[in-house]
Structure 1
Amino acid sequence: MKQANKKNRKRKSAKRKTSSFQIIALITIGIALIFLAVQPNFSKQSSDESNHKIEIPFTKEGELSFISKQDNSTIRTIDLEIAEGLAETAQGLMYRYSMSDQQGMLFIMDNEEAQNFWMKETYISLDIIYVNSNFEIVRIHERAVPLSEQNIPSVRKAKYVVEVIGGFCDKFGIEEGDMIKYEKTTNQ
């Protein structure tokens, strides 16, 4: 009888050890499953944060009209952001990821001379329009390649540069020889 009690106690002890082991294993598996279920959300969140784009919003500071050389009629009027001075001119349309065909940027240069622009850190294709001091369009570069550091020259002297979304000039029939006129709508 003593022998049987001893065997029963050993079985109960072995069952308790097995039960404890099974409980620890189940808890470990449960924690692992919770971690795996939550982990993709952590990865997605940090991925979203690292992919967050710094975008500079459009600020309307005026309006610009393109005037036909044929009959002085207004071809198209757009909202305008104005870049004056070295810092604003250097920044230009960098870090913009979209722009409508109702928006553009006017660069007012210090001197009328041959100008060179580029597309560094500019993520959208642009038409770059060079304009002389008489407000005549002297050169158009259509669909400039985003992010290119290649110089885009005016060839002729220009006092103003207008940047609009790529394909704008073709879409609205803007040509060299047409004119521009602009008006500031905010105090600077």
Structure 2
Amino acid sequence: MMNVKTALALACCFYIASCQNQPASNDNADTSAAATQPAATVPAASGPVFRKEGTLAFISKAKGDTISTIDIEIAESDDERARGLMDRRSMPENQGMLFIFQAPEEQSFWMKNTYISLDIIYVDENMEIVSVQKYATPLSEESLPSFKKAQYVVETVAGYVDKMKIQYGDKIAFKKD
């Protein structure tokens, strides 16, 4: 299901796209085939549109209570994981991406074609946070390793881990929509 912000962003894009092929006035309206062709799809200014596919909670190791919750896109296939958040120009604080791997192993991410700074949170097979790469540099091809085996990776906007005081040993729990 699409959230209201996403629906409005799509509506604006389609409206702008449809207006681009409209003549300036009706006085000299061109009725040729070229003038009546539909407008090309205009990509959203913020990059690919967020698709809410679930919800993820960060859970405190100390008290077992929920620290925060975000809406997530889920990357499970090789293609989805390779694409990640590439070409995104912005992302609200309450959204992120969850990468799911078949088995735990050392992971390494990079920021190629990713325009927003991210916190990259590595999570083991027990849903426990084992390492974090904070404030990843946009567009960098530098390897950002997990240093430990991880089966899940969560990407949030940069600063989220510090703001929410998420720590090693905290856990995640997620639910697919």
Residue type of the partner of 1:147?
A: L
Matches for 1:145-164 after TM superposition, within 5 Å: 145-164=137-156
Quick one: which amino acid aligns to residue 80 of structure 2? Answer: E
- CA distance in 2 between counterparts of 1:79 and 1:67 reads 15
Q: Note if 1:71 corresponds to 2:69.
A: no
The aligned residue for residue 161 of structure 2 is 169
- Runs of 5+ consecutive residues of structure 2 not aligned to the other structure: 1-43
Partners in 2 of 1:83 and 1:152 — Cα distance?
18
Select 1:62's aligned residue among 54, 62, 65: 54
Counterpart of 2:97? 105
- TM-score by structure 2 length? 0.74
For structure 1, the 5+ residue unaligned runs are 1-51
2:153 is paired with a residue whose SS is: strand
Give the equivalent residue in structure 1 for 2:121. Answer: 129
Q: 1:119 is aligned with what amino acid?
A: M
Secondary structure of the residue that 2:166 maps to in structure 1?
coil
* Deviation of 1:170 (Å): 0.3
* Amino acid aligned to 1:171: K
Question: Larger Cα Rg: Structure 1 or Structure 2?
Answer: 1
In structure 1, give the amino acid aligned to 2:91. M
- Give 1:54 deviation, angstroms: 7.7
1:60-108 CA-to-partner distances (Å, cap 9, x unmatched) read 0000000000000000000010001100000000010001110000000
> Which residue does 1:6 correspond to in 2?
none
TM-score (norm 1): 0.70
**1:182 lines up with 2:165 in the alignment:** no
Q: Is 1:91 matched up with 2:67?
A: no
Deviations 1:135-169 (A, max 9, x none): 00000111000000010000000000000000000
The one-letter amino acid paired with 2:161 is C
Which is richer in helix? 1
SS in 1 for 2:80: helix
SS at match of 2:51: coil
Give identity over the alignment, percent: 54
Whole-angstrom CA distance in 1 between matches of 2:130 and 2:168: 5
